[in-house]
Structure 1
């Protein structure tokens, strides 16, 4: 009896972790907000034990702050943290892209073209934004997927979540969004041409432009 119950609890904790991670990244909790345990139990339809496990994992991941004897709080939006996250994205994602271009095979090329096509066709209207964000994340993960390092990809995923928390809370800038969308296609072209130097330079510019948008959340 004990083992199946532990497995069920772990599965539930993982479900809640994924759901809360999505909601935290997408700004469905206010920055600096203290999360109420009883409210979360009702919102996510979960018991106390798996909920606490999920909250502890989210704190270790950096999407919650654990306060001694006072529960958990959503991290505040901090310019210095955003600067750090954006800088690490430039370094780690740039490194991963260089490796991916050198290692990527024909199957990767096909997957990258498909991911870019789906993203280009996606609807960015308010009712479809979650689907656009999912396809956007898929494109960026596909771009660097063949880099050859599981740990590098894990760090990049975590940095994306931290970065996107700021970006999703910032006002939209349509003119910049248009440039960013065009750069997705340009990144694919450079990757397929195996132009490592130009692709990395464009990716860093892409991150810098997105950073300028994300800065709006800190004002």
Structure 2
């Protein structure tokens, strides 16, 4: 194998392990504050040292790992003030994106939004991992037509940071029922092009989810 092929292979492996680790960190497969044992990760994910380090460095830059000078990596601790800050930024950026999505969204966006909502309804009662994936896709689709790639990137990063808290929090079935109903309400308001009502509902949706996520900071 030549050097160019080796670099391409390492990059492919790094991208793959990055996505797997990103998912596992957000899903709470590691303890908050846990030190990452690189040799253990090599065995767990069957990956070489070079692509693994590349993925870990990328995750640290993304904010899902803390890099310690000469001491490797650690899962970030849970912090109430950080969660509050994340939720506040979600309210600001997602409401901005939704307003723009409603203004610029075309018939294709409407169709994709209806389909995403249908898949989310069908995912209720299925395994948690499938529901989480479908739920994430719904929220991405809701703001997808906002016209700003950077805004969507920031929102995606905030969702990952927020979900790390939410998925470690105890289940709150009463709030969950309200949140599930709000998904359909958001679609209805978006299709009616009611920017003000949709933005207010999305803000309330994030605040309720924040209330659930706070449970992860009380343990």
TM-score range, shorter chain: over 0.9
The Cα RMSD (Å) is 0.6
Other-structure match for 1:160: 159
Unpaired segments ≥5 residues, structure 2: none
User: Alignment partner of 1:169: what SS?
Assistant: coil
Other-structure match for 2:21: 20
**Aligned partners of 1:123, 1:20: CA distance in 2, in Å?**
25
**Aligned-pair CA distance for 1:4:** 0.5
**Aligned partners of 1:27, 1:116: CA distance in 2, in Å?**
26
Aligned counterparts, 1:62-81, within 5 A: 62-81=63-82
**Aligned-pair CA distance for 1:124:** 3.7
Other-structure match for 1:106: 107
User: Alignment partner of 1:32: what SS?
Assistant: coil
Deviations 1:79-128 (A, max 9, x none): 01000100000000000000000000011101000000010111345xx1
Q: Are 1:183 and 2:211 matched, yes or no? A: no
Deviations 1:143-175 (A, max 9, x none): 000000000000000000000000000000000
**Aligned partners of 1:142, 1:41: CA distance in 2, in Å?**
35
**Aligned partners of 1:178, 1:121: CA distance in 2, in Å?**
15
Q: Are 1:91 and 2:106 matched, yes or no? A: no
TM-score by length of 2: 0.98
Other-structure match for 1:121: 122
Other-structure match for 2:213: 214
Other-structure match for 2:142: 143
- Flag as ranges the 4+ runs of structure 1 deviating above 4 A: none
**Aligned partners of 2:125, 2:178: CA distance in 1, in Å?**
14
Other-structure match for 2:38: 37
Q: Which moves more between the two structures, 23-32 or 115-124? A: 115-124
**Aligned partners of 2:17, 2:37: CA distance in 1, in Å?**
15
Other-structure match for 1:57: 58
**Aligned partners of 1:44, 1:13: CA distance in 2, in Å?**
11
Other-structure match for 1:48: 49
